[in-house]
């Protein structure tokens, strides 16, 4: 059947978002001598995203096809596109002659703010809008407060104009990173999927771990790590890989809630796996004004520790329940790599570009994208070469995925801009620093809780942008390294995806496994317990971030933490060579925590690690006597 005009229009609008981003990242306008402001590119991208949102999301926030949009949403979409064209044209004049065009600027900004807030509501709901509303109310009435939060009030008309037209607000650094850097990586991710990347990583996980104890759970962990690093979205990761891994785990004998929790925890952590790490890592690098390669290096050890704990959990849980390896023929590692070696090539090119040649993230993405594109013209993992229709669909899909990212970053940028304009940034930082001077541990605990609460219902990108402005500065003021502070808030913002009462990733996985939603979220916290402690550790010991210490210190901290993680996970699951008694489980957790604490974190850290190592060795030797004889036989990890 012939596609409708509205369907074609929506596809063209979606494809334009990545096309504009790729052209800008490549420097094509500069090469052609076309003078375009960065803000004009960002406004065009936001307008395209708003128009698509009206077509793709109903007033009641339900997803739909573009041709199903009612007449009023089609008119709203056309109006959003027209508004974008007008503002792109008038933006240079309005910003350079704002004093003489106050009325026009106010009208244009008011229309843009209404359109943006409505599309964000349709995309992700009310949480981000509520936060923006609260900060705007503070800006309007700050002069009525007392103490460190008192500040000068901002006039309503100035606030509206600032929100849309000021380069420190909507079209600021956060939206720039989202459009110029993140969108090319979204295109790379979609092209990887179109080239068979999902099947390649699934087959590679099966070939590596399918024959081991608890192989189904380990496949879910490894596959979600691979896919999550590319997608950068916990929910989409669960929805895609979970459709395969959750039934595989339940069939192998994992309880439905445990299978869903393993998938949710693995998918959530994928955003922390180098070298891509989703959109938040690029924003983190921009906020700290450091090369993206430094973020990748700092995130490496914490990501390894997190996935070691997930693999250990899957293994111990399988041993506890006497689950067998996956039956049937499995592809060899060599055959999988021989068929899909080119899927790994973009990752190698990214690493070489970022570390060896110090390329900008978007430039490295273009190099990787170009190489994969050339190969995909000749072959894919699943056989035939990619077609022109597939390439067009890749751009359209990338635009649809970028829609939410762009809208979230646009509103989050306004939040950050108003936060700084109103003086709330200084007042809140001063207040939290006073708390931290009394007890840094108390401040870390309060910050962690704040991160999880603010993250409820929000994608990780939006959460990080808010927390980088609200929660990270007080930690830095108290002497915590900036990289550690920002990764701390990123971790705990991400953990809102699996932490009750609003654990979106866990709820999606629970629905797929037909398990109780809240019980699955609680189970996900048990599965992903490491992510709640690792940020506390790298704040106190930057050796885990490969900062402020030599390679030996970092490797030693990683080795002791890995051993500690395995022991604590054994205590959490209740298995360590045999089924453990309650007393022995507590002993495993205590000994594991002694190993888990980095030697450089506290004064008696080395002695604590030595005591933990001795205790762990004794538990290993005398495990049979400390456990129960009723446990099934099990192999070593």
Q: Could you read off the pLDDT of 17-35 as tens digits, one per residue?
A: 999 999 998 988 888 888 8
pLDDT digits (tens, 9 = 90+) for 466-512: 888 888 888 888 888 999 999 999 888 888 889 887 788 898 899 88
Neighbour order of strands in the sheet with 575-576: 575-576, 578-580, 627-628
pLDDT digits (tens, 9 = 90+) for 128-172: 899 899 999 999 998 888 777 788 889 999 999 999 999 989 998
Check pLDDT > 70 for residue 231.
Answer: no
| Cβ 78 vs Cβ 69: under 8 Å | no
* pLDDT score for 628: 59
Q: Considering only CA atoms, which of 236, 237, 239, 218 is closest in space to residue 227?
A: 237
Check pLDDT > 90 for residue 405.
Answer: no
Q: Considering only CA atoms, which of 523, 521, 527 is closest in space to residue 497?
A: 521
Q: Considering only CA atoms, which of 149, 150, 120, 157 is closest in space to residue 413?
A: 120
Mean pLDDT, residues 338-367? 88
Mean pLDDT, residues 224-238? 75
> Tokens representing 78?
């056309």
Check pLDDT > 80 for residue 236.
Answer: no
H-helix segments, 57-166: 71-96, 102-124, 127-141, 156-165
Q: Rg of the Cα trace of the chain?
A: 25
Mean pLDDT, residues 403-420? 90
3-state secondary structure of 80: helix
Per-residue DSSP letters for 24-43? Answer: HHHTHHHHTT----HHHHHH
Check pLDDT > 70 for residue 635.
Answer: no
Check pLDDT > 80 for residue 295.
Answer: yes
* pLDDT score for 396: 94
3-state secondary structure of 579: strand
Check pLDDT > 60 for residue 380.
Answer: yes
Q: From residue 274, give the alpha-carbon distance in Å to each of 74, 232, 347, 635.
A: 40, 11, 9, 31
Mean pLDDT, residues 50-54? 96
Check pLDDT > 90 for residue 577.
Answer: no
Looking up tokens 């009462």, which residue turns up? Answer: 501
Every domain of the chain and the residues it spans? 549-637
What is the rounded distance in angstroms from the CA atom of residue 220 to the CA atom of residue 260?
A: 10
Check pLDDT > 60 for residue 192.
Answer: yes
Q: From residue 28, give the alpha-carbon distance in Å to each of 19, 39, 478.
A: 11, 16, 44
Lowest-confidence region among 41-45, 297-301, 347-351, 630-634:
630-634
Going by pLDDT thresholds of 50, 70 and 90, the confidence category of residue 212 is confident
3-state secondary structure of 637: coil
Per-residue DSSP letters for 398-465? Answer: HHHHHHHHHHHHHHHHHHHHHHHHTTHHHHHHHHHHHHHHH-HHHHHHHHHHHHHHHTTTS-HHHHHH
* pLDDT score for 173: 83
3-state secondary structure of 380: strand
| Cβ 370 vs Cβ 342: under 8 Å | no
Peptide bond between residue 499 and the one before it cis (omega within 30 degrees of 0): no
* CA 161, chain centre distance (Å): 31
DSSP letter assigned to residue 383: B
| Cβ 514 vs Cβ 501: under 8 Å | no
Burial grade of 583 (CB within 10 A; 0-12, 13-18, 19 or more): exposed
CB within 8 Å of 126: residues ≥ 6 apart = none
**Cross-strand bridge partners of residue 72:** none
3-state secondary structure of 255: coil
> Considering the chain, what is the average pLDDT of its residues?
87
Going by pLDDT thresholds of 50, 70 and 90, the confidence category of residue 632 is very low
Going by pLDDT thresholds of 50, 70 and 90, the confidence category of residue 636 is very low
């Amino acid at each position: 059947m012939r596609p409708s005009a509205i369907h074609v229009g929506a596809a063209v609008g979606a494809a334009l978002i990545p096309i504009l981003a790729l052209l800008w990242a490549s420097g094509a306008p500069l090469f052609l001598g076309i003078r375009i402001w960065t803000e004009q590119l960002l406004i065009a991208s936001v307008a395209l995203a708003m128009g698509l949102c009206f077509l793709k999301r109903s007033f009641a926030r339900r997803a739909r096809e573009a041709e199903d949009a009612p007449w009023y949403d089609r008119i709203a979409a056309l109006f959003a596109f027209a508004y974008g064209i007008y503002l792109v044209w008038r933006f240079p004049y309005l910003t350079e002659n704002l004093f003489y065009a106050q009325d026009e600027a106010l009208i244009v900004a008011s229309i843009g703010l209404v359109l943006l807030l409505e599309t964000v509501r349709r995309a992700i709901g009310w949480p981000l809008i509520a936060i923006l509303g609260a900060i705007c109310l503070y800006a309007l009435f700050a002069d009525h407060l007392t103490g460190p939060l008192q500040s000068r009030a901002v006039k309503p008309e100035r606030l509206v104009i600032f929100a849309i037209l000021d380069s420190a607000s909507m079209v600021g650094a956060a939206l720039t990173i989202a459009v110029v850097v993140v969108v090319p990586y979204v295109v790379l991710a979609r092209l990887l999927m179109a080239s068979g990347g999902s099947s390649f990583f699934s087959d590679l996980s099966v070939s590596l771990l399918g024959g081991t104890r608890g192989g189904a759970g380990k496949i879910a962990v490894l596959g979600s790590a691979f896919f999550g690093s590319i997608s950068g979205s916990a929910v989409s990761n669960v929805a895609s890989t979970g459709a395969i891994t959750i039934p595989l785990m339940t069939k192998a004998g994992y309880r439905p809630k445990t299978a869903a929790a393993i998938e949710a925890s693995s998918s959530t952590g994928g955003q922390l796996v180098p070298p891509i790490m989703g959109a938040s890592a690029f924003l983190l690098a921009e906020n700290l004004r450091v090369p993206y390669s430094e973020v990748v290096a700092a995130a490496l050890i914490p990501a390894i520790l997190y996935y070691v704990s997930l693999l250990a959990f899957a293994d111990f849980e399988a041993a506890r329940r006497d689950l067998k390896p996956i039956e049937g023929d499995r592809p060899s590692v060599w055959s999988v790599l021989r068929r899909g070696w080119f899927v790994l090539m973009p990752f190698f090119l990214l690493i070489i570009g970022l570390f060896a040649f110090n390329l900008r993230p978007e430039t490295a993405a273009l190099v990787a994208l170009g190489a994969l594109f050339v190969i995909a013209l000749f072959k894919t993992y699943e056989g035939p070469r990619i077609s022109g229709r597939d390439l067009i669909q890749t751009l359209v899909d990338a635009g649809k995925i970028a829609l939410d990212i762009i809208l979230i970053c646009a509103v989050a940028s306004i939040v950050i801009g108003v936060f700084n304009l109103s003086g709330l940034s200084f007042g809140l930082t001063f207040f939290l620093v006073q708390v931290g001077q009394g007890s840094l541990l108390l401040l870390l605990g309060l910050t962690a809780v704040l991160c999880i609460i603010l993250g409820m219902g929000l994608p990780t990108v939006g959460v990080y942008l808010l927390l980088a402005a609200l929660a990270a500065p007080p930690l830095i003021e108290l002497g915590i390294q900036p990289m550690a502070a920002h990764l701390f808030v990123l971790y705990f913002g991400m953990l809102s995806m699996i932490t009750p009462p609003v654990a979106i990733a866990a709820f999606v996985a629970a629905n797929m496994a037909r398990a109780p939603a809240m019980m699955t979220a609680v189970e996900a916290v048990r599965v992903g317990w490491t992510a709640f402690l690792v940020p506390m550790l790298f704040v106190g010991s930057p050796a885990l971030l490969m900062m402020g210490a030599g390679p030996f210190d970092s490797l030693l901290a990683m080795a002791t933490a890995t051993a500690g993680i395995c022991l604590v996970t054994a205590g959490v699951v209740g298995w360590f060579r045999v089924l453990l008694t309650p007393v022995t489980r507590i002993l495993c957790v205590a000994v594991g925590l002694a190993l888990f604490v980095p030697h450089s974190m506290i004064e008696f850290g080395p002695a604590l690690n030595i005591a933990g190592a001795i205790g762990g060795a004794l538990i290993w030797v005398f495990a049979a006597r400390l456990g129960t004889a009723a446990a099934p036989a099990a192999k070593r990890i």
